[in-house]
Amino acid sequence: MKIFAVGMNYIRHNKELDGALYKPEEPVIFMKPDSAVLNNHKPFFIPDFMGRIEYETELVVRFCRLGKTISRQFAHRYYDAVTVGIDFTAREMQHRLRQTGQPWEISKDFDGSAALGEWVSLDKFRDIQALHFRLDINGKTVQEGCSSDMLYTVDELVEYISRFFTIKTGDILFTGTPVGVGPVQEDDRLEGWIEDRKVLSFNCK
């Protein structure tokens, strides 16, 4: 299984991260190893040696077909389900690595850094580009977004990624986080929602 992820795909998050409103000239793509997956309500063990760990709440898409160089108009045929995921990020480490021009994957790809909720068939929704999602921590909403605000749509991302990588059944795509990222603490309870469906729940340890 490959885990594709997209950085800087919501303009207000880009300002939150870099202090400016901008759209990258091309999608910013990185990948996570399968050891990053955290699912089945398992707890997230905060790696305290990595400094401040922040949540990034995202819509995640599941691929259902083999494909390569997929055109945008046919991209919707290659995914069949969606959920909420958390792209955990060691923020201080990421800033330090970016400032020195080094690869910053280590701040994103550590074990347990890709939390996944329960998959929901896209048949349950009218439009993948009109989905509201949010994260609650300890019963309080801390981050929310709508897929209509993506700078690059899901189909555009599929077209772009499949130019470089063969997409296989079971691969997944984290589509980027909106504004509102923040830190997690021990004993936090995280719950992720798509519209009125709770699809993600786990504790931090």
> Pick from 106, 109, 74: which is nearest to 93 by CA?
106
Assign 131 to helix, strand or coil: coil
- Backbone angles phi and psi of 196, in degrees to 5: -105, 15
What are 176-199's pLDDT values in tens digits? 999 999 999 999 999 999 999 999
The first and second tokens of residue 126, run together, are 């009218």
> What is the pTM for the complete model shown?
0.95
On the question of pLDDT at 22 being above 90, the answer is no
pLDDT of residue 45: 98
What are 86-120's pLDDT values in tens digits? 999 999 999 999 999 999 899 999 999 999 999 99
The first and second tokens of residue 59, run together, are 């819509």
What is the rounded average pLDDT for all residues in the chain? Answer: 96
Decide if 178 contacts 144 (C-beta within 8 A).
yes
